Amino acid sequence: MKIMNIGAVISLTGLVLLLSPSPAPGQLAEGERDTLFIGEARIQPSVRDLARREGAELELDRAAQTLESQFIQAVSATRVFQLVDRKRVEDIQAEQAFAAVAVDPSDPRAARMYKMAGARWAFLPQIDGFQVRTDTVQFQVGRESMTRKYFLSALVQIVDTTTGELLPDVPSIQLQEVETVEMAGVGQAKPSDAVLVNLARRMAGQLSQEAVATLRPARILAITGEQIMINRGSDAGFAPGLPVEIYAYQSIVDEETGEVFRNEIPVGQATIVRGDRRQSYGRISGEDLGISTGNIVKPLRAPADPAPLAPATWSGGREETGTEIAPRRPSPDTPGSSDRPLSW
């Protein structure tokens, strides 16, 4: 193993300890393929109330249904867990309903229910934010343009069925999708279902990657010169061109609370150059501070917050894109909409 200088902060002995993987809380033992139950995508009541008030409840339900199916597919594609058939959980829920027992997902009794169904872990996705904003401009020449912006926020609660505890690390993602229809006929600038489905698919992909990495992060399986082999492929988001950070780590116990933390030390970076759905290969870039097999690999992603929509600008004034559903209004600069309309 090649170890380069890390500096005075970490001694050689400490680095060797860091490079020896030890399980962190909630992490799976090496070689295991634990069972997993994925709950339905719940919608927080306040989110539904807001969508109903703004007339976007149909879009919210569409996003939730797509998120649920895409999340199951995305987690299954990682091949890290064996998914539990929902029918087994539904049978147990039916028995509880017969006994008039209501169980909240965060209640320890819910964890026992998942465990009885054969699940070691439970992923419980939840939508905690949704909004649709529409800005439509109607021109007097019989045309209109529409800008429609979707916002979706979701998280995944992770339940350890052996203890009934919710893991403190809760993957949470916020995404936006913008659709623009230019110069359509009046009444023809309709939103498309494809944009909403794409938003939910993106959300499912990122949430699955974050949730799976919480329990079993990607690791280096082999090192050959400047090349590293990683036990994750394109299904987990490790596509060619993706920059990644490599960490050595150790588990540290808080003496006061007994809680276990994972101390991660950056030891290098790499760029994914090739791979398939199951595995990928990266080329080490920059300084090698002790990269070793078993190190954790995490994608280096762009900031989650998207750039705001640019304001609409007319020569007769400047108008910010609003935060609410905007009324139809004529543009003073549209040909044919001034005091002297065009002659055809």
Report DSSP letters for 169-199, one per residue: ---EEEEEEEEEEEEEETT--PPPHHHHHHH
161: pLDDT confidence band, cut at 50, 70 and 90? confident
Q: Which domain holds residue 64?
A: 33-216
* Total domains present in the chain: 1
Tell me the average pLDDT across 45-50: 94
CA-angle at 100, arms to 97 and 103, nearest 5°: 70
Dump pLDDT digits (tens) for 71-107. 999 998 888 888 887 665 665 555 555 444 455 555 5
| pLDDT score, position 106 | 55
Residue 171 within any structural domain of the chain: yes
Alpha helices, DSSP H only, in 230-323?
none
Alpha-carbon distance values, 139 to 61, 144, 336 (Å): 33, 6, 9
**Count of CB atoms within 10 A of residue 44's CB?**
14
Mean pLDDT check: name the lowest of 29-33, 196-200, 263-267: 29-33
Residue 154 within any structural domain of the chain: yes
pTM recorded for the entire structure: 0.67
CATH of residue 183: 3.40.50.10070
Residue 38 within any structural domain of the chain: yes
Mean pLDDT check: name the lowest of 8-12, 44-48, 121-125, 235-239: 8-12
DSSP state of 238: -
Residue 3 within any structural domain of the chain: no
User: Which tokens hold the place of 109?
Assistant: 């009794």
Q: Please compute Rg for the chain using Cα positions.
A: 25
Q: For residues 289 and 89, which has the higher predicted lDDT (pLDDT)?
A: 289
Is pLDDT above 80 for 4?
no
| pLDDT score, position 86 | 66
Residue 206 within any structural domain of the chain: yes
Length of the chain measured in residues: 344
Highest mean pLDDT among 103-107, 196-200, 321-325, 340-344 belongs to: 196-200
Task: Give the C-alpha separation, 15 to 247, whole Å.
Answer: 11
| pLDDT score, position 189 | 62
| pLDDT score, position 108 | 55
Dump pLDDT digits (tens) for 185-202. 666 666 677 888 899 999
Task: Give the C-alpha separation, 344 to 20, whole Å.
Answer: 79
Q: Quick one: 279 exposed, middle or buried, by C-beta within 10 A (0-12, 13-18, 19+)?
A: middle
Alpha-carbon distance values, 175 to 70, 88, 192, 298, 307 (Å): 15, 33, 18, 20, 11
